[in-house]
Chains A and B, each alone.
Chain A
Amino acid sequence: MDQAETRLRQAVAILRITLGVILLVTWWKNLQDGIYTADGIVGLFNYLFNDNGGGPAFYQAIINGTILQVPGLFAIFQLIGELLLGLGLLVGLFTPLVAVGAALFFFNLFLAYFGGNEWIWTYVLLTVSALVTALAQSGRAWGLDSLVLRRLGEPPIGPIW
């Protein structure tokens, strides 16, 4: 690995670690604010769709027909999912899979806030960052994926680490 290559991987690793920290800090704040409860999830989407004025009609219809039918169940899924995404990115384990999950999550936020009062580019930045983290397999620098790679070699089915 030449110097430029090393620098590239390490630069994206910093991005990955930052995404992990952002997810974990937000997770902790959401936990304290009671977002990961049925009432919290209903309140969140109420804010997004009514107070903030975001979310295209098709997106609101999907959320109303799925998540808001079982907010308590979704709250548990969100509690565990966001924690796992944050930890996975922070330590760089199975980074491509975790980062694609994070990109989908961030893209979901992009849709939820689209057309509202917030600066929508925040969610573009987050989604792009997660996608680049996945494509660069950035857990191979300063991440546990480097240990997995050394022990098991290249993944047998697609870029898992």
Chain B
Amino acid sequence: MSIQAPLWPIAGARAIIGLLWLFSLRWKLPPDFMPSEGRGLMDWLELEVTHAAFPLYGTLVEQLVIPNFTLFAWAIFLAELIVGLSLLTGAFTRFGAFIGLGLAVNLGIGLLEVPGEWPWSYAMLAMWHGLFFVTRAGRVWGLDALRARN
């Protein structure tokens, strides 16, 4: 009975989701964290306040994040960059997946009630990061495999 589940499809998914994070940096590039056209990071934060699913979360964004926008914008930018590179290359994958899980859950909570957003997207994104974490997805097609060999 063959019950071997291949890890390479998950490794492929890991790289694609790494690209997802890197592509998402396009509209939050420093120094102003705004794209040349369309919504930027500040616009999305304001939407999270206006359409907060959880009042406490909306208050937190309004009174803590927005007044310290530059600090949080850098933190978000660097976190997404690290997660993107980690998943794309399969380096320190469990760390990247753990941070990515936090980012995905945060996005899901913040954008839950924003018009036009589909909460399942963020549920799936969070689930994938959990999957990368538990399966140690950098073991195949990733730098984690090289680290383990050395």
Q: A residues engaging B (CB < 8 A)? A: 1, 4-5, 7-9, 11-12, 14-15, 18, 22, 117-119, 121-122, 124-126, 128-129, 131-132, 135-138, 140, 149-150, 153-154
Residues of B near any A CB (own CB < 8 A): 1-7, 9-10, 12-13, 16-17, 20, 23-24, 116-118, 120-121, 123-125, 127-128, 130-131, 134-136
Min CB distance, B121 to chain A, in Å? 4
Partner of A5, one of B5, B10, B24, B124: B5
Complex contact B134–A7 (CB within 8 A): yes
Residues of A within 8 A of B10 (CB): 8, 12, 132, 136
Quick one: given A18-B124, A121-B23, are A11 and B9 in contact (CB under 8 Å)?
A: no
Tell me which residues across on chain B come within 8 A of A1, comparing CB atoms. 3
Complex CA distance for A4 and B12, rounded to whole angstroms: 18
Given that A122-B121, A125-B125, A129-B124 are contacting pairs, would A11 and B134 also be in contact in the complex, using a CB cutoff of 8 Å?
yes
Contact A149 B125 (CB under 8 A): no
Q: Which residues of B contact A149 (CB under 8 A)?
A: 1
A115 to B129, CA, bound (A): 27
Which one of A8, A119, A137, A150 has the greatest number of beta carbons of chain B within 10 Å? A8
Tell whether, in the assembled complex, residue A124 and residue B20 are in contact, meaning their CB atoms are under 8 Å apart.
yes
Pick the contact of A136 from B5, B17, B23, B124 — CB < 8 Å?
A: B5
Contact at B127–A154, with CB atoms within 8 Å?
Answer: no
A118's nearest neighbour on chain B, judged by CB, is B116
Residues of B within 8 A of A129 (CB): 13, 124, 128
Given contacts A121-B20, A132-B9, A140-B3, contact A15 B120 (CB under 8 A): no
Q: How far is the CB of B146 from chain A (nearest CB, A)?
A: 19
Interfacial chain A residues near B17, Cβ < 8 Å:
125, 128
8 residue pairs A–B, Cβ–Cβ below 8 Å:
A7-B135, A8-B5, A22-B120, A121-B24, A121-B121, A122-B121, A128-B16, A131-B9
Residues of A within 8 A of B9 (CB): 131-132, 135-136
Residue of B nearest to A149 (CB): B1
* Pair A137/B1 contact, Cβ less than 8 Å: no
